[in-house]
Structure 1
Amino acid sequence: MTLALLSPSRLRLPRLGRIERYVLIQQLRSLGVALAVISALVMLIDFVEVSRGVGSDQDLSALRILGLVALKSPSVIVQLLPFVFLFGTLAAYIGLNRRSELVAMRAAGVSAWRFVLPAAGMALVLGVLTVTVLGPLASAGDGLWQRERARISGTAPGASSNDAIWLREGDDQRQMIIRAGRQDRANARLLDVTFFIYTTDAEGNRDFSERIDARSAALSAGRWRLTDAVGASIGQRAVTYSSLDLLSSLADEEAFERFARPQSTPFWSLPNQIQRIEDAGFASTAYRLRFQQLLVTPLVFAAMSILAAAFSLRLMRLGDLAKMSVAAVVLGFAFFFLNQFSSAMGSAEVVPPFVAAWLPPILTALAAFTLLFYTEDG
């Protein structure tokens, strides 16, 4: 009997009726229009910015600038997708209201939950696709844009850099802080290097052990090869080495690669990036915050969709189209500023990254559900 109840023929997902499918199609069309408008505005602004910045220095052609914009703009567009769902859903339901189609649906006894919840489910699915597919592509494009801008400006990663480089590595017994005045990537070396070596006792206390200055240091096969080095320990005379090897836990490329920005790191690479940064002894708060913000993206899309739908349903009863539309837009921007403020608090480690990322979307979703309950059920 139990097996019969659990058979595939009985376990069927609820099908969408004609009304739900019709509303979803109208919403998808409006989302497409909103996405096209926002994308055009972003690309136009980026085109002007790139033309005045990188383009003015190297006299790039319009086609070349357009290619750079195509790399730069997707990451900005992905960040603005919540507004696409807000404006697109609002436009879809306003259109249904103007054609009196929502009035007819409600007069026929159709509950608003029948077409609002499928729309929210669609927003969740699109959010998952954005995080897992579109987001990584946009992050890869942003990384290419950063490298192309550096190359065009004459500060390509392959050239020698005059910026000081700081690294940290070690284990439970020893910690090394490494400072290099310059890097020579062509020969895979750090130049004008100083190693500060600390030892860790059984209680976890770190004591300064030795300082080593070297003209250059090359990382290969788990060892630092120091050239023209001078080492000095506490209470001892300095010792000169023509060549000195130190064990290292860093991968060969980590001594020369700077960590990518959180926005340039794809979703699938963030966990490994966070681990690498923490192993190197740096703070990973910004990357943890970015990871949590990506995880909560589907909830943001669904909350914006429900919020816009709730205001559109009130239009039918109150008859004040302009007032309620402005209120929905104001609430959308309020969410944006709340999210930015919460992100700043999370980056400053005032609140944990999990709280900073999840609190604004949860509050927005609760507000949307509250308004929808009040509008639909009184």
Structure 2
Amino acid sequence: MPSRFSPHLPRLGRIERYVLIQQLRSLGLALAVIAALVMLIDFVEVSRGVGSAQDLSAVRIFGLVLMKSPSVIVQLLPFVFLFGTLTAFIGLNRRSELVAMRAAGVSAWRFVLPAAGMAFVLGILTVTVLGPLAASGDAMWQRERARISGTTLGADSQEAIWLREGDDQRQMIIRSARQDRANARLLDVSFFIYTTGADGGRTFSERIDAQSATLSAGRWRLNNATGAQVGQKAVTYSTLDLPSSLADKEAFERFARPQSTPFWSLPNQIQRIENAGFTSTAYRLRLQQLLATPLVFAAMSILAAAFSLRLMRLGDLAKMSVSAVVLGFAFFFLNQFSSAMGSAEVVAPFVAAWLPPVLTALAAFTLLFYTEDG
């Protein structure tokens, strides 16, 4: 039904769309600048590292940079939203467009909240789509760097590996000096077997050394093995079978770094690591940080907008802009410090991941309330 307020609704919608378009343009510019800087730094780093050791061509180095840089760029996206939103609103302020909006009775909440909402949606897109692509690229970069530098030679790895498996009655710690992935074998391997008592305590019961151990069909097949239980003489076996709860892929596949694990794979990765008897704190922290990413982007957008709403004629806009950048970097260092506390298990991963963005969002809303409502 028409009313006397209906003529104003389309105008307000156009204003909001106009502000969002300006913000998107500034975000694109900020992303281009930061991406160019990151790729330039990575190009120099790869050239001096892997490239100089193997005499790679510039095209090959650029291909490695395309694998490596996206994960770094994704980590710097909060600054893209900080600088991009700040640039967009300062531009509107310098052209007196914010003055005209405020004089027309348009509240700052009418164009700041849509900007924050768009940042939140882009954060979801980053976590669900862009982040997994960047994580896959980082995993490819790690494999290519290892292959080019020669840390992994063919199917054999010269690096010792440790495994842990078992159940409520028995635990096995497995150490292998070398591994043959092509034949699913561990070479020069030792099994340390512990029994679990009724009180939950573990007691060492036996050690078995073998020339090789092959995993298949839910068992370890040990060749040329020597085993000794506590208080007994050593016994030699030509072959010996030990039950195993590991799948072939789990035993011979190294766990990827948290940064190289896509968002959708993190829950399964956490479960695998815990089943293997290792701590999953770093992966739980990474999962919570990814879940908090949309809030981080929205908080950065509100913070930048709140600092740039001061009218040009009142002065101090430059100081306010510098203050926004300083607060943005303060959030970055707070986030790094909180991540270190979470990784060291000083605080829970949930608290370490969510505390910095929540504090930043509260600070941004407080400043916006003070700027708009006094």
**TM-score class normalised by the smaller sequence:** over 0.9
Q: What's the TM-score once normalised by structure 2's chain length?
A: 0.95
Task: Look up the match of 2:72.
Answer: 76
Q: Using the alignment, how far apart are the partners of 1:250 and 1:78 within structure 2? A: 34
Matched with 1:11 is none
Partner of 1:314: helix, strand, or coil?
A: coil
Given that 1:127 and 1:301 are in contact with CA atoms closer than 8 Å, whether structure 2 keeps it comes out as yes
1:205-224: CA deviation from partner (whole Å, max 9, x where unpaired): 21111111101111111111
Partner amino acid for 1:173?
Q
Decide which of 130, 136, 139 is 2:135's aligned counterpart. Answer: 139
For residue 284 of structure 1, report the CA deviation from its aligned partner: 0.6
- Paired with 1:29 and 1:108, the residues of 2 have a C-alpha distance of 25
* Number of the residue aligned with 1:6: none
Which residue in the other structure is 2:170 paired with?
174
How big is each residue's C-alpha offset from its partner over 1:27-84, in whole Å with a ceiling of 9 and x where there is no partner?
0000000000000000000000000001001111111111000000000000000000
Tell me the distance in 2 between the aligned counterparts of 1:219 and 1:159.
16
Alignment match, 1:276: 272
- For residue 257 of structure 1, report the CA deviation from its aligned partner: 1.4
State percent identity of aligned pairs: 88
Render the CA deviation track for 1:288-343: whole Å, top value 9, x for unaligned: 10000000000000000000000011244632222111111000000000000000
2:314 alignment partner AA = L
1:77-122 Cα distance to aligned partner (Å, 9 max, x none): 0000000000000000000001000000000000000000011110
Match of 1:3 in 2: none
d(CA) in 1 for partners of 2:291, 2:15: 31
The answer to whether the aligner puts 1:125 opposite 2:121 as a matched pair is yes
Distance 1:202 1:150, change over 3 A: same
Determine if the alignment matches structure 1 residue 370 to structure 2 residue 370. no
Contact 1:158 1:186 in 2 (8 A): no
**SS in structure 1 at match of 2:331:** helix
Could you say what secondary structure the match of 2:309 adopts?
helix
Choose 124-133 or 321-330, whichever is displaced more.
321-330
Shift of 1:162: 2.5
Displacement of 1:182 in angstroms is 1.2
Task: Give the match for residue 4 of structure 1.
Answer: none
1:180-213 CA-to-partner distances (Å, cap 9, x unmatched) read 1111223221111110111112221211111111
In structure 2, relative to structure 1, the CA distance for the partners of 1:363 and 1:271 (3 Å cut) is: same
Q: Which residue of 2 aligns with 1:39?
A: 35
Is 1:294–2:290 an aligned residue pair? yes
Q: Distance in 2 between matches of 1:105 and 1:72?
A: 43
SS at match of 2:237: strand
Alignment partner, residue 6 of structure 2: none
Alignment of 1:104-253 (within 5 A): 104-156=100-152, 158-253=154-249
Unaligned runs of 5+ in 2: 1-9
After TM superposition, the structure 1 = structure 2 runs for residues 3-42 of structure 1, keeping only pairs within 5 Å, are 17-42=13-38
Which of 255, 259, 264 is the matching residue for 2:255? 259
| CA distance in structure 2 between the aligned counterparts of 1:15 and 1:177, rounded to whole angstroms | 69
Q: How many residues align?
A: 365
Give the drift of 1:158. Answer: 4.2
Residues 75, 135 of structure 1: 8 Å contact kept: yes
Query: What secondary structure sits across from 1:169 in the alignment?
Result: strand
Q: How big is the alpha-carbon RMSD for the aligned residues of Structure 1 and Structure 2?
A: 1.4
TM-score by length of 1: 0.94
